[in-house]
Structure 1
């Protein structure tokens, strides 16, 4: 009886061995592409190593590109700031040179001939006393006026005030009384400069001319509308 049991046990072991061998063969052929588990594990580890290396390379590339992008953005920002500063500086010099309209506080001085019925002897004409206008402009400049106009003609470095018949030429444009002079600056300082005792306003009034000085909170002075050309002056490099 024991001998018969041993035969059955041996036969079962053989069948089990064949079944296990068949399963291993099936797994190796279906899932491991014919390779042994050890070989497949090695292949997976190698592939994982390659993928990790590729990932590290891509991370480094992303960091490099991000750094490059940051530099471009910073450069663009710095360039934008430089352009803005240059534009602000250009606009400031345009304002100083009279090439742009400006607004601000200041004073407005109106000068006119006396009424005809008050004239005694020769008829008074402020145009004939244009040098008093020059004195007024000089006082305003000395008091810190940042922009001046006469009858809407902007004063610049080439502006002339000269007699032309019974009129006055300003920027080659003939103007007639009443003369309205606008000056942007400190209203109190400009007012005090022209209204000082024995100053230009008093001289004009004693000469018989009508003079009115008003402090203005929001004064507008237009840009110089002529042309400026340099034929003899050159910039120094």
Structure 2
């Protein structure tokens, strides 16, 4: 027991010494930092500089944001102009196809018109044959359905083409074609074919006029460009 008391007393002695030494050190060396007037002035100067830099950065950020907004507006304007130019190009190409200036190839629809196979003896035979009006009906419906190019018996027609009846034949731009008349259109068959076969539409009207009609979808049709006679 005496040994334990000796050790305990020694620990208390050391602890007391350490506390006393720490107090003396703190008293002798206070931690309060006193700044001179020059140091305070320098600290104020740096703080002022920092505030000015932060304000300048704010101005620059606002300027960058404004320029980015202006650039975005110009990009949108350029995009609108590019879209407008592309629309003009698409319209030009569409007109070139209709006027025959460029060759055309793609899906389409083929309509064949035949004179009636049977003509009653008491009837007027003229009422049982294909006329130019029938051909015009088919062509107009094809154009209304978005056809890009049209040909009759392989002869491509144009916006200024002339189609007329000449007895039992049809003349297209001075070229005669006997029946049957095969009218081919390049375009979306999912639009053109249903438009022709609408109830009371073109096909029904032709059948009522005793014209034999067949409509077929074509996977690929090619038409050459118009040959120029100039030069």
Tell me the TM-score normalized by structure 1. Answer: 0.53
Asked if 1:162 is matched to 2:164, the reply is yes
For 2:101 and 2:147, the matched residues in 1 are separated by 16
Give 2:180's match in structure 1, choosing from 168, 174, 178: 178
Identify the residue that residue 119 of structure 1 maps to in structure 2. 119
Identify the residue that residue 100 of structure 2 maps to in structure 1. 98
For 1:143 and 1:170, the matched residues in 2 are separated by 22
For 1:173 and 1:213, the matched residues in 2 are separated by 24
Identify the residue that residue 147 of structure 1 maps to in structure 2. 149
For residues 149-206 of structure 1, give each alpha carbon's deviation from its aligned partner in whole angstroms, at most 9, with x where no partner exists: 1111111122011122322111111111100011011101000111111111111112
- Paired residues of 1:153 and 1:171 also in contact (CA < 8 A): no
Displacement after TM superposition at 1:97 (Å): 2.1
For 1:215 and 1:169, the matched residues in 2 are separated by 25
Give 1:212's match in structure 2, choosing from 214, 219, 222: 214
Tell me the TM-score normalized by structure 2. Answer: 0.54
Asked if 1:107 is matched to 2:109, the reply is yes
Other structure's SS at 2:191 match:
helix
Structure 2 gaps of 5+ residues are 1-88
Other structure's SS at 1:203 match:
helix
Change (3 A) 1:178 1:222: farther
Change (3 A) 1:133 1:96: closer
Change (3 A) 1:225 1:166: farther
Change (3 A) 1:228 1:182: farther
Other structure's SS at 1:193 match:
helix
Change (3 A) 1:228 1:167: farther
Other structure's SS at 1:198 match:
coil
For the aligned residue pairs, the C-alpha RMSD in angstroms reads 2.6
Other structure's SS at 2:136 match:
helix
